[in-house]
Amino acid sequence: MYTQALDIPPGEQPKRTPDAVENAAYQAEFDARIDAGATIEAKDWMPEAYRKTLVRQISQHAHSEIVGMLPEGNWISRAPSLKRKAILLAKVQDEGGHGLYLYAAAETLGVSRDELTEALLSGKAKYSSIFNYPTLNWADVGVIGWLVDGAAIMNQIPLCKCSYGPYARAMVRVCKEESFHQRQGYDALLAMMSGTDEQRELVQDAVNRWWWPSLMMFGPHDADSPNSGQSMRWGIKRISNDDLRQKFVDATVKQAEVLGVTLPDDELKWNEARGHYDFAAIDWDEFWNVVNGHGQCNVDRLAMRVKAWDDGAWVREAAVAHAEKQAAREKAAA
Amino acid sequence: MGATAMTSTNPAHLEYVLRLGDAALIHGQRLSEWCGQAPVLEEDLALANMALDFVGQARMLLSHAGTLEGKGRDEDTLAFLRHEGQYRNPTLCEMPNTDFAHTMIKGFLLGSFNLLMWSRLCGSSDKALAAIAAKSLKEARYHAEHTGDWVIRLGDGTEESHRRAQAALDMLWPYTNELFAANPTDDAAAAAGVGPAWSDLAEDWEKAVLPVLKHATLTVPARTPFQTYGKFGRHSEHLGHLLAVMQHLPRSFPGATW
Amino acid sequence: MERKEWPLWEIFVRSKNGLDHKHCGSVHATDARMALQVARDVYTRRQEGVSIWAVKASDIVASDPDAKPELFDPAEDKIYRHPTFYKLPDEVDHM
């Protein structure tokens, strides 16, 4: 999975609607349950803003999985061995599966998958901007597994304990499968690093391109995400963007060493006092540019999803038409 | 290693296994092209599952072919480093996806064939091949069922889906002639108990395929003398492009391991 | 053209014989066979199951969460239904 911590727009802040006032007792009970760490289930009463925030976050997350199939899918037909082809195909298929689990979780909140898909295809819904970068050589596939999935795992493990039951359960399932993703990526890179000089160059080139975008996946600095507080309060978010990012950097430095690649940051060094690695400032202009549609692949990725959906319309209609005919025939025969 | 001991002195034996291996390889490659592009998410996963089954079969069969040949070629050498004319898959496998109807019709025609093939090969005198067949047979049942269901849905769905399914059938049906064309390799392989002559499967294949096509309200094209020769190494123009993509990395980095 | 969404099916998987079918999520499918086939592809990619149930979501009758008190609370004081209610001598307490 590939969550990216995105802000809750101000319009979605919980507000005192007449409905909420009427439901003050429910609200109090809801708050008490959240505070007690209880799980909210689909049919339980919930504040509208909580529901909307969940729909947005879960569907963004699902969209990210679906769009995330494309950059790696780009290499399935060119995988360099049959073993790697099978692994990559299984991995990208898993991402589709994760998207499906997550759409199913979102649907428990009263939205349909078609509505969510439409929001993605019309450009209204966001997905993780990491997928708007191109995959330029075979090592990109390994680096995505190692760094991008690695960052995603950091983000998603806390979500297994999020307050909304169907989302938390979907995330447990996703997490179980995700560690295979990171390991296969690292394994593919190890194989290349113990190969020829040319192969090692491919790996370093890919690391250089994916390192900073991976750090951006954790979202803006805590100081710049004023609405994270609400998600924390609701138990939809458990650990802050900066804390997760630091955890990721700390874990990755050693892995890079073992692999024999250089992370593209001259300022990256151990800070004894903090007990963490220091790293250079992130280029947030680049982040917002890509989020706002100006990444190299924003247009291509969406166009590909739109094409798949449009090309498939007649197939989806045919299945419905056939089921209706069958039902009518069975009725007539009864 | 027992590789030398298992080397076959019967060239038809190797040729026969290569046909099976290449058919799985090329069909799997085509199916994998759907990944991320299917009409609905559920079907994306189903297509990927089938592609994975075929890639898996190709790995086992090509490894086995390498052993039979006894020249040290492994699954990847065979999959990636042969020239076009050395591939032995039936031409039908390499036909482009074109649209979902083509993929399902092709998957069904081939899937029904594979189902018969694997059930016969479970009794092969080649024990390694029999073991591969036992595993592949289970997969083939699902493939034939899944694609067969779709053929019916598309044929008996909307006007457009019927038109597309019929067009795909008209286009691909003539390529099934090749599956059943008699040839000396098959005769020798059958005589050695390696597996059935493919021509022997024709009748059972029609018995399996025709009722589904009828249920799908599709018109079965009349047999024509159209012939293709993929399993003899003379392919359509499509295969070269498929191979150019598939072989790109191993050809660009000779000697590299991945 | 009028667009129709594929119906939703809830999927239950028995992970091995001897265990209950457990709810694991949902899929969209236009008929029962398709629901079972895709459920197999979606929810048992890692041999997670030996048996699958697919139930049309619209056919499921669920209890009302607001009715929880009358449905479930009455069981609250029937603690004698739980094995822990019975204090047995240590020697036989594994019963």
* Domain segments of chain B as ranges: 7-220+228-252
The answer on pLDDT for A278 being more than 50 is yes
The least confident of A7-21, A307-321, B2-16, C31-45 is A7-21
Residues of C in contact with A104 (CB under 8 A): 25-27
Partner residue facing C37 (CB), from B40, B41, B46:
B46
Percent of chain B with pLDDT strictly greater than 90: 96
**Chain A residue closest in CA terms to B245:** A78
Give the residue ranges of DSSP H helices in B10-40. 11-32
Opening angle at CA A278, ends A277 and A282, nearest 5 = 125
Nearest 10 degrees: Cα torsion B89, B91, B92, B94 = 80
Give the pLDDT score at A22. 57
What's the mean per-residue pLDDT of chain A?
91
Q: In whole angstroms, how large is the CA radius of gyration of chain C? A: 20
Give the pLDDT score at C4. 80
What's the mean per-residue pLDDT of chain B?
96
For an interface test with C, the pick among A23, A87, A101 (most C C-beta atoms closer than 10 Å) comes out as A101
User: Average pLDDT in the C25-53 region?
Assistant: 92
A112: contact with C, CB 8 A cutoff = yes
**The one-letter amino acid at C85:** F
Half-sphere exposure of A183 (CA within 13 A, CB side): 6
Chains in contact with chain B (at least 3 beta-carbon pairs closer than 8 A)? A, C
Distance (Å) from the C-alpha of residue C86 to the closest C-alpha of chain A?
29
Give the residue ranges of DSSP H helices in chain C. 32-43, 68-72
What is the count of residue pairs from A and C with beta carbons less than 8 Å apart?
Answer: 47
A97: contact with C, CB 8 A cutoff = yes
User: Average pLDDT in the A248-267 region?
Assistant: 97
Domain enclosing residue C11, as ranges = 1-61
Give the pLDDT score at A166. 96
Give the pLDDT score at A13. 42
The answer on pLDDT for A179 being more than 90 is no
- What DSSP character marks residue C48? -
The least confident of A154-158, A269-273, B49-53, B55-59 is A154-158
Give the pLDDT score at A236. 84
Contact A173 C4 (CB under 8 A): no
The answer on pLDDT for A17 being more than 50 is no
User: Average pLDDT in the A107-118 region?
Assistant: 95
Contact (CB, 8 A) for B30 and B97: yes
Chains in contact with chain A (at least 3 beta-carbon pairs closer than 8 A)? B, C
User: Average pLDDT in the B176-204 region?
Assistant: 97
Give the pLDDT score at C82. 72
Residues of A in contact with B245 (CB under 8 A): 77-78
Architecture of domain B7-220+228-252: Up-down Bundle (1.20)
C27 CB contacts (<8 Å, ≥6 apart)? A100, A104, B42, C8, C9, C11, C35, C38, C39, C42, C54
User: Average pLDDT in the B170-179 region?
Assistant: 98
Residues of A in contact with B45 (CB under 8 A): 93, 96-97, 100
**The one-letter amino acid at B163:** R
Give the pLDDT score at A300. 96
The alpha carbon of residue B58 and the mean position of all alpha carbons in its chain are separated, in whole angstroms, by 9
Contact (CB, 8 A) for A27 and A19: no
Nearest 10 degrees: Cα torsion B111, B129, B31, A189 = 160
Partner residue facing C42 (CB), from A100, A105, A112:
A100
Distance (Å) from the C-alpha of residue C12 to the closest C-alpha of chain A?
14
Contact C28 B42 (CB under 8 A): yes
Partner residue facing B253 (CB), from A196, A314, A322:
A196
For B68-88, what is each residue's pLDDT tens digit?
Answer: 999 999 999 999 999 999 999
Which residue from A2, A3, A5 is spatially nearest to A231, judged by alpha carbons?
Answer: A5
A315: contact with C, CB 8 A cutoff = no
Maximum CA extent, chain C:
74
Residues 120-149, chain B, touching A (beta carbon < 8 A)? none
Give the pLDDT score at C3. 62
Q: In what order do the strands lie in the sheet with C21-28?
A: C21-28, C8-14, C51-56
Contact C41 B153 (CB under 8 A): no
Give the pLDDT score at C1. 44
Give the pLDDT score at C68. 65
Contact (CB, 8 A) for B108 and B220: no
Partner residue facing A112 (CB), from C5, C25, C34:
C5
The least confident of A287-301, B166-180, C77-91 is C77-91
3-state secondary structure of B91: helix
Give the pLDDT score at A19. 55
Give the pLDDT score at C46. 84
B98: contact with A, CB 8 A cutoff = no
Contact A93 B258 (CB under 8 A): no
pLDDT band at A12 (very low <50, low <70, confident <90, very high): very low
Residues of A in contact with C9 (CB under 8 A): none
Residues of B in contact with C37 (CB under 8 A): 46, 142, 145-146, 149
Partner residue facing B52 (CB), from A90, A313, A315:
A90
The answer on pLDDT for A15 being more than 50 is no
**The one-letter amino acid at A189:** L
The neighbouring-strand residues paired with C27 are: C9
User: Average pLDDT in the A7-12 region?
Assistant: 42
The answer on pLDDT for B2 being more than 60 is no
Q: Tell me, yes or no, if the pTM score tops 0.90.
A: yes
User: Average pLDDT in the C15-21 region?
Assistant: 92
Residue C66 lies in a domain: no
**Chain C residue closest in CA terms to B50:** C41
The answer on pLDDT for A14 being more than 50 is no
Q: Which residue has the tokens 């790696």?
A: A72
Residue C78 lies in a domain: no
User: Average pLDDT in the B36-51 region?
Assistant: 96
Give the pLDDT score at C64. 74
Total number of domains constituting chain C: 1
User: Average pLDDT in the A29-46 region?
Assistant: 92
What angle separates helix B11-32 from helix B41-69, to the nearest 10 degrees? 160
C72: contact with A, CB 8 A cutoff = no
Contact C34 A173 (CB under 8 A): no
Q: For residues A314 and C33, give the distance between their C-alpha atoms in angstroms, rounded to a whole number.
A: 20
Partner residue facing A319 (CB), from C6, C8, C25:
C6
Residues of C in contact with A105 (CB under 8 A): 25
B40: contact with A, CB 8 A cutoff = yes
User: Average pLDDT in the A203-207 region?
Assistant: 98
Give the pLDDT score at C74. 66
Residue C21 lies in a domain: yes
The answer on pLDDT for A64 being more than 50 is yes
The answer on pLDDT for A231 being more than 90 is no
Selected residue with higher pLDDT from C86 and A257: A257
Percent of chain B with pLDDT strictly greater than 70: 98
Residues of B in contact with A92 (CB under 8 A): 35-36, 48
Q: For residues C58 and B199, give the distance between their C-alpha atoms in angstroms, rounded to a whole number.
A: 49
User: Average pLDDT in the A288-297 region?
Assistant: 94
The answer on pLDDT for B41 being more than 90 is yes
3-state secondary structure of B1: coil
